Structure 1
Amino acid sequence: MKIVHCSDLHLGKKVSGNREYVKKRYEDFFSAFENFIAKVKEINPDVCIIAGDIFDKKEISPDILSKTENLFKELRSYVKKEVIAIEGNHDNSKALEDSWLEYLHEQSLLKVFYFNKNFEEENYLKIEDINFYPIGYPGFMIDEALKKLSKKLNSDEKNIVIVHTGISAGENTLPGLVSTSILDLFKDKAIYVAGGHIHSFSTYPKEKPFFFVPGSLEFSNVQNEKSDRKGFILFDTDSLEHEFIELEHRKRVQKNFIYNDSTNIEAEFEAFVKELNLTGEEILVISIGIKNNEYINLENLENIAENNGALKTHILIKNILSIGNSEEGTSDLSIEELEKNLISDWNISNIEKFSASFSELKELFSNNDRDSFLELFDKTLEVNEDDN
C-alpha cells in the first residue's frame, strides 16, 4: 500500500503587512496545497494522511471554506481508498463543538478524527491489512494518550499511528510535543507514526526511522523555521521504505549583513540587497550584528530592501542582548527572543509559557480576533497565578 503523508496546511492563514504581501501570502498556502495535489495525482496513492492543522484558525471565512472544499474534491479523486485527517491545535474544536473539518467529513471528502471526542473508542480505521489509529491533538495529554495506545497495539499486525506532535528537543518549547522515550514505546508496534505540528521535515530515530514529521507545505513562521525544504512523505507499507518529496513554495532568502560604518549603513545595506538580484517574490530574512549598541532604523532598512526587490523583509538582531553561555557571546535574536528577555524582568513565574502566549496574543490582536484574544489572555493570567 502506498501512503502519502502531509501536515500543517494552515489554509486561510493571514499575515500582517502591505496589501500585496497579505494577498500573496494568503494565496501561498492554497498554492502549496495545489502543488501537493498535483504530485498526489502522479502517485495515485491508496491513502492520504493529513496530520493536523488543515486550517490556520478555528473560525474561517466562506472564501476559505470554498477554496478548501474544491481542493479536497480534487485530492479525493486521486486517492484510491481514503483521505484520513486529524485535528491539529490550530483547527482544534472544543469538546462540545464541531470544527469545519466535520463539514468536509460530511461531504465525504475525508475521514476526520479528534482526540477530545471518544478517542479511545472511535479513533480506529482498518484498510486492507493496515490498522490506522488517528489520535488527533492531545496537547498536554500527549504522553498519557500514547502510553495508552501503545499497550493496545499488537506487534504482529501492521499499525500506523497518526498524531499531531513533533519531538520535544533543545529550544523547542511548543506545547503538545512528545519525548523520544515515549515514541520508543512504538518501535516494535507501529510500522509508521505520522506526526505534524513542527514545520520542518524530521524523522526518528536516525537509523530505521518509524516516526515521521513532513513539516508544513509552506512557511508559516518565516523567521524561525530551520529548513527551506517543504514537502511530504511517500511511504510503502510493504517495503517500509519512505521518500521525502519536495514541493515548490514561497522562496526565503536568509543572509547575514555586516556593516562598516553606522553613519553610512543605509547605503551599504542598499548595495548589499542589490547584489541579491531579488525579483519581487522573495521573503528576505536578514541577520545584522549591531556594534556597541548603536541605533539603527530597521524600518528604513526594510523599506530599502522592499524597494529593491524583496516582497517582505524580516530583520533579526545580533548581540543586542546576551542569551545562554555561548563561547563567542553572540546569537541571532528574533523578536520573540527579545520579548522573552524583556519578560524575564517582569517577575513572572513561568516565562516559557507566558512568552509563548504573548506571541499568540500579539497575533490575535493584529488580526482583530477579540474573542480569542480575551480567552487566551484570561488563560495566560491563570497560568501565571497558578504556575501550572
Structure 2
Amino acid sequence: MYFVHVSDIHLGKTYRNSLGEVERYADFFTCLSGIVNEAVDEKIDAVIIGGDLFHVGQILPKTFAKTIETLQPLKDAGIPCIAIEGNHDWIHRRDSISWMEALSQMGYIKLLRPTRTEDGGYRFDPFDEETGMGGHIEIGGVNIYGLGYIGAQAGSHVERICEAVTTENNLLLFHVGIWKYSPVEIGNMKLEEAYPLAEKFGYVALGHGHKPYVIETPEGKPFAFNPGSPERVNFGEEKYDKGYYFVTFENGEFHPAFRKTSPRPMFVEAIDLSGAENVEQALDMFREQVVAKVDSSGDERQPLLELKLVGRVGFHPFELGRERLKAVLEELVDPLHVEIKNHLSLVSSAEEGDGVKKSLEEIEKEVLRDLIKTGSDYQGREDELIRLSIALKNAVQKGDVDGDELLALLDTEGH
C-alpha cells in the first residue's frame, strides 16, 4: 500500500486588505493541488490529512467551492482522502453542519471521528459511506483510525485510545503536537505520554505543528511523524523544511519518505538603523540592508517579508512611515506582502543627563494613556484599555482577522 500523509494545509488563509490578498489565497490551493496531482499520477492508494485542512472553521463559500475543485482529481481517480479535524477546522456553533462534514457527505473526504462511551472511553465505529461518518476505515490492509483535535489534555487520553483498538497493522491520524518538538503552545502532549501509542500503532500520523519532526521510541524506533505544513502559513516558518510524507506499507512495516514542496519565499529580518540622524540617512541604511538580506533570486514569486526596525535614531520614529518604507521595498524586492515592526528608540536631548530613551511602543502607550484619561468614564481603566487598543491595532495591521474575530477580541479583552 502507498499513501500520502499531509497536514495543516490551511486553505482560505490570506492577508486581508493586502494587495497580495488574491495571490496569497491561491498559494495554499496551488500547494494542495500539486500534492493531489502527484498522488493521482503515481496511483497511490490513499491520501490522509492530519487536520487543519482549512484555516478557519467558518470558511467562505468560495473556499468550499475551490476545495471541491482541488480534491476532484482524487475522487475521479477513486483515491480515498481520509481526514480528521484540526483545531482550525472546528466550528463553535454546533447547530449546523460543518464544512468538513459536508465534504465527507459529498464523498470528497472520509472524515474520521470517534464516538465516546458512557464511561469516557473511545469507540471507533466503521466508516459509513452513506452518512459520511465513522472512526475507522481499512484500506489496503491498513486499519486507519482518526481522532482529530481533542485539546490540551490529549496525553491523558492515550490509554483509552489504545484500549479501543484490537486490530493489527494500525495507523492513527491524530491532530496533536509533542512539546519537545513543536512550538505550538496549545493542544500538545508530553513525549513520554506518546510512547504507548507505539505499542498499538505502526504509524502515528500527526498534525498541528508546522515544523516537520519524527518521534522515536526509547529504543530508537520511529513511530510518529509530523509533516508540518506544506506551505508557509505564518512568519517564523521561513527556515522550516516544507513538505509531506510519501509512505509505503509492506510486510507489516511502514516506510515514510519526506518529500519537499516549494513554498512561497519568506524572509523575517531585523534592520538595524542605529546612528541614523535623519530619515534620509535611515532610508539609505534600510535600502542597503534589505538588498543584503532579502534575496529571492531564482524564485519568480514575490516574497513575503516581516521586517523589524531596531536601533536608536536621532529623529522621531513616527517620521519613518510605513508607506514610505513600502515604496522603497517595491523598488528593491517587490514583495507580495510586508509587515513592518517599528521598534526604533528615540535618542532624546535629555538622554545624556538621565539616560532616558523611549521606544516607539512606550511613546504609543503614553499617547493612548493621555487620550483615555480625557474621558472621565475611563479613568482608572487606562491599563486595560491600552492593552485592548494595542491588541486591536495589531490584529488589524496583521490583516488576518475578520469582523467576528475582532468582536471576539473585544469581548475577551473588554472584560
For the aligned pair, the TM-score class normalised by the smaller chain equals 0.7 to 0.9
Structure-2 residue corresponding to 1:312: 337
Unaligned runs of 5+ in 2: 126-134, 346-360, 366-381
Q: Partners of 2:188 and 2:393 in 1: how far apart?
A: 18
Structure-2 residue corresponding to 1:253: 267
Give the share of equivalent positions with the same residue, in percent. Answer: 24
Which one-letter code corresponds to 1:120 in the other structure? R
Unaligned runs of 5+ in 1: 321-334, 340-345, 349-353, 383-388
Alignment match of 1:172 (pick from 173, 183, 188): 183
Shift in alpha-carbon separation, 1:277–1:216, aligned structure 2, 3 A: closer
Shift in alpha-carbon separation, 1:54–1:293, aligned structure 2, 3 A: farther
Q: Partners of 1:194 and 1:359 in 2: how far apart?
A: 36
Structure-2 residue corresponding to 1:114: 113
Q: What SS does the aligned partner of 1:11 have?
A: coil
Structure-2 residue corresponding to 1:3: 3
Shift in alpha-carbon separation, 1:240–1:170, aligned structure 2, 3 A: closer
Q: CA RMSD in A?
A: 3.7
Q: Partners of 1:359 and 1:91 in 2: how far apart?
A: 24
Give the conservation status (yes or no) of the 8 Å contact 1:14–1:26.
Answer: yes
Shift in alpha-carbon separation, 1:280–1:108, aligned structure 2, 3 A: closer
Q: Partners of 1:101 and 1:72 in 2: how far apart?
A: 13
Task: Report the alpha carbon displacement of residue 138 of structure 1 after superposing the two structures with TM.
Answer: 0.5
Q: Partners of 1:136 and 1:151 in 2: how far apart?
A: 17
Give the conservation status (yes or no) of the 8 Å contact 1:47–1:79.
Answer: no
Any residues of structure 2 matched to 1:192-341 within 5 Å, and which?
A: 192-205=203-216, 207-221=220-234, 223-225=235-237, 227-238=239-250, 239-259=253-273, 261-263=275-277, 264-275=281-292, 276=294, 281-291=302-312, 296=317, 297=320, 299=322, 300-309=324-333, 310-315=335-340
Shift in alpha-carbon separation, 1:373–1:258, aligned structure 2, 3 A: closer
Shift in alpha-carbon separation, 1:230–1:254, aligned structure 2, 3 A: same
- Post-superposition Cα deviations, 1:344-384, rounded to whole Å, max 9, x if no partner, equal xx999xxxxx99xx6999369966744454456556778xx
- Post-superposition Cα deviations, 1:63-122, rounded to whole Å, max 9, x if no partner, equal 211111111111333464x21101111111345542111221122111112367886343
Q: Partners of 1:307 and 1:28 in 2: how far apart?
A: 23
Which one-letter code corresponds to 1:237 in the other structure? F
Q: What SS does the aligned partner of 1:67 have?
A: helix
Alignment match of 2:198 (pick from 152, 175, 187): 187
Q: Partners of 1:14 and 1:104 in 2: how far apart?
A: 22
Q: Partners of 1:236 and 1:360 in 2: how far apart?
A: 48
Give the conservation status (yes or no) of the 8 Å contact 1:364–1:370.
Answer: no
Q: Partners of 1:201 and 1:252 in 2: how far apart?
A: 17
Task: Report the alpha carbon displacement of residue 34 of structure 1 after superposing the two structures with TM.
Answer: 1.2
Q: Count residues with an aligned counterpart.
A: 350
Structure-2 residue corresponding to 1:323: none
Shift in alpha-carbon separation, 1:199–1:99, aligned structure 2, 3 A: same
Which one-letter code corresponds to 2:228 in the other structure? G
Q: Partners of 2:29 and 2:404 in 1: how far apart?
A: 26
- Post-superposition Cα deviations, 1:291-347, rounded to whole Å, max 9, x if no partner, equal 489864362434422332222233467898xxxxxxxxxxxxxx9xxx9xxxxxx99
Q: Partners of 1:120 and 1:360 in 2: how far apart?
A: 45
Which one-letter code corresponds to 2:195 in the other structure? D
Structure-2 residue corresponding to 1:386: none
Shift in alpha-carbon separation, 1:366–1:313, aligned structure 2, 3 A: closer
Task: Report the alpha carbon displacement of residue 229 of structure 1 after superposing the two structures with TM.
Answer: 2.2
Task: Report the alpha carbon displacement of residue 193 of structure 1 after superposing the two structures with TM.
Answer: 0.7
Give the conservation status (yes or no) of the 8 Å contact 2:238–2:267.
Answer: no
Task: Report the alpha carbon displacement of residue 172 of structure 1 after superposing the two structures with TM.
Answer: 3.0
Q: Partners of 1:115 and 1:295 in 2: how far apart?
A: 58
Which one-letter code corresponds to 1:251 in the other structure? P
Report the TM-score when normalising by structure 1.
Answer: 0.77
